[in-house]
Structure 1
């Protein structure tokens, strides 16, 4: 079967290809690995009870991610029980949440193996599990931090950043655990674990903000992950991009002004190139149509041979009307 030679099919194929490519290239990615935390101790599992409980836990968490952005459950009995949690960023749809969470069981097994506790954080979601009796840690304990390598030029950045942080601290409490906003070219986000109360959430985010102020200094971006909450901030000297921050804003392992805008400029360049190719291709296809136009003897009916296109007289207004017909499969090749 050779490459399709029919101009109409080429047009339809090209429209599908460019539309699909554009959507794929602009689709946000919430599945970038941020960090992993794996216990040093592995299962002692001679009868496979832990493995069965863990498999059931993963299945339950993934299935719930189609309905909610936070879920906590326990599988197994007694000493063989395992408690697990998943949470998605508050701005993800159910579909995006499921796409993110469904990758975590495989990643957890690949990155941590059969350990008695593991936590895998992606840019849009995380999953945590612990066996019964695993030691608990403070909700304020830091798990991961990153600060951008670029520092803000000029004076006033830290004051604007701290004002944005203050707005976020209040917003995450009043919005019950998740808040995102922009302030004078700054994009800030904060989120607490789904079962944390408003008061404790505010304290956790405040602690994360203090760490960001001290440890990131004048860096234009950063992410701070504590056990029960995280914050993220990014500064855009030319203004926050339309639609907010990229998917990495929820906690990518690195973030900077230059890398963020490099991606945007690349996207614009691709769009311009695709637009130019589409225009040229459309012109070529129109010329191919014109070559195949034939005129019937009475001079009133024009048809495009074999392509399912028909010009016919318009009796009410004069001129011609273009009819488009479905093609038989044999006409496409």
Structure 2
């Protein structure tokens, strides 16, 4: 086999490796953060174990029909309340897969805690024993501020306009979910499914205020409150060609775009692999734990 044929074979193998790596990764089921109560169920292997299982089974069964559902299981002091919510742009099948993943993550990360919240990229699930003290709906649970700071004039005005679009969007009969773009700022906002329009708008406004105070001129941010969250990314040099932002990061279309971008040559392909590996390691480092009060 000649040098050219060897190079082509190597390129094909590397392309397949990247495609398999990206295609097999369900980004929407990746962990964003967890919250675990600092108290465990007493006698978990008795009634509480079965009650929690019944609750999870109910939530999973409803995830094929709706993006938000809350329910209870058990009776009296052993009652456990819980809910799930999927991101508004997830397909029904992706919502099911995401919600199925959440109880597994909850058990792995929080054990037998009497209350827990697991936030994945595409959905979140939380539960708490009856009588558990709730935090405020606008309590800041988790934040991610981009390390890159905006430079030059115009960023603040663009960002303010984009954030204003989120407020208008979630309050305009969109089921508390809105995603879009404004002059190279791409954004997303979502409220818990049982909030009315007014409370949803107020929650998102609180999230925006926290984004401004916590993240300043960062070109990207994710702000998670108890009952809503927002995220945005600003592209100062314009949106990357052939790789426009998408909030359905687990889609096969994005996988195909990623592979297409690195087809330019071996160097680009190697860089793509390095970036993927770095992104995975960085995500693990960003995993954050907080404790519920109770």
Alignment TM-score, normalising by the size of structure 2:
0.76
Higher helix share: 2
Task: Kindly tell me the number of residue pairs found equivalent between the two proteins.
Answer: 246
Q: Distance in 2 between matches of 1:20 and 1:67?
A: 35
Q: Distance in 2 between matches of 1:33 and 1:47?
A: 27
What residue number does 1:233 align with? 232
Q: Distance in 2 between matches of 1:181 and 1:247?
A: 13
Deviations 1:50-102 (A, max 9, x none): 11000111111112111111110001111111011000100101011111111
Q: Which has the higher contact order (CA 8 A, sep 6+)?
A: 2
3-state DSSP of counterpart to 2:141: strand
What residue number does 1:212 align with? 211
Deviations 1:99-137 (A, max 9, x none): 111111111001000010000001110000010111122
Larger-gyration structure (1/2): 1
What residue number does 1:268 align with? 260
What residue number does 2:78 align with? 80
| Aligned Cα root-mean-square deviation (Å) | 2.8
Q: Distance in 1 between matches of 2:35 and 2:213?
A: 24
1:117 to 115, 118, 143: 115
The within-5 A match list for 1:182-193 is: 182-193=181-192
Residues 46/98 of structure 1: CA separation in 2 closer, same or farther (3 Å cut): closer
Unaligned runs of 5+ in 1: 1-17, 250-262, 275-333
3-state DSSP of counterpart to 1:206: helix
* Deviation of 1:22 (Å): 4.5
Contact kept, 8 Å, 2:36 with 2:115, in 1: the verdict is yes
Q: Distance in 2 between matches of 1:136 and 1:19?
A: 48
* Deviation of 1:267 (Å): 3.3
Q: Distance in 2 between matches of 1:99 and 1:268?
A: 27
What residue number does 2:87 align with? 89
Unaligned runs of 5+ in 2: 1-14, 267-294
Q: Distance in 2 between matches of 1:268 and 1:246?
A: 19
